[in-house]
């Protein structure tokens, strides 16, 4: 009986990926302290790995940084500015409100307003209909 040829050992196909490998835990662009904190908390809860989701999250974090800058200006100058024409609302108030509304909409669009999936401890209890009345 003829011998069957021995199979070669399995090996990975392809070579190393050229260039630097980007991790999912880093934002696509540099962020300020508020945006970086939101990025870290969101990634620890949801683990967004697709490029579209990471881009949206980066934009949300950038908007948060901008909104916080405007909030600092409002806190520094006061919400009401006194001009020759009389008291006026600080112009940053409208911009801050618009940014926070945009952040809320983007969070909803990204699906971050929903509870993240969590693994349940212990064995799962499957509910199966048996056809019997209780």
33 has pLDDT over 80: yes
| CA–CA–CA angle 14, 18, 24 (5° rounding) | 100
- Pull the structure tokens for residue 43: 């990634």
Helix (H, G, I), strand (E, B) or coil at 89: strand
Domain residue extents for the chain: 33-110
- With cut-offs at 50, 70 and 90, classify the pLDDT of residue 134: low
Helix (H, G, I), strand (E, B) or coil at 88: strand
pLDDT of residue 47: 87
Q: Give residue-wise pLDDT tens across range 108-129.
A: 998 888 776 666 555 555 544 5
Averaged pLDDT score across all residues of the chain? 81
Q: Give residue-wise pLDDT tens across range 74-90.
A: 999 999 988 898 999 99
């Amino acid at each position: 009986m003829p011998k069957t040829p021995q199979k070669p050992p399995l090996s990975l196909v392809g070579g190393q990926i050229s260039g630097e490998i980007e991790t999912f835990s880093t934002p696509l662009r540099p962020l300020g302290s508020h945006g970086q904190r939101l990025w870290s908390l969101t990634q620890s809860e949801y683990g967004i790995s697709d490029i579209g989701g990471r881009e949206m999250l980066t934009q949300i974090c950038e908007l948060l940084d901008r909104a916080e800058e405007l909030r600092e200006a409002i806190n520094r100058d006061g919400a009401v500015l006194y001009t020759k024409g009389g008291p006026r609302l600080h112009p940053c108030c409208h911009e801050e409100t618009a940014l926070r509304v945009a952040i809320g909409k983007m969070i909803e669009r990204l699906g971050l307003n929903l509870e993240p999936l969590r693994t349940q401890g212990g064995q799962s209890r499957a509910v199966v209909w048996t056809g019997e009345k209780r």
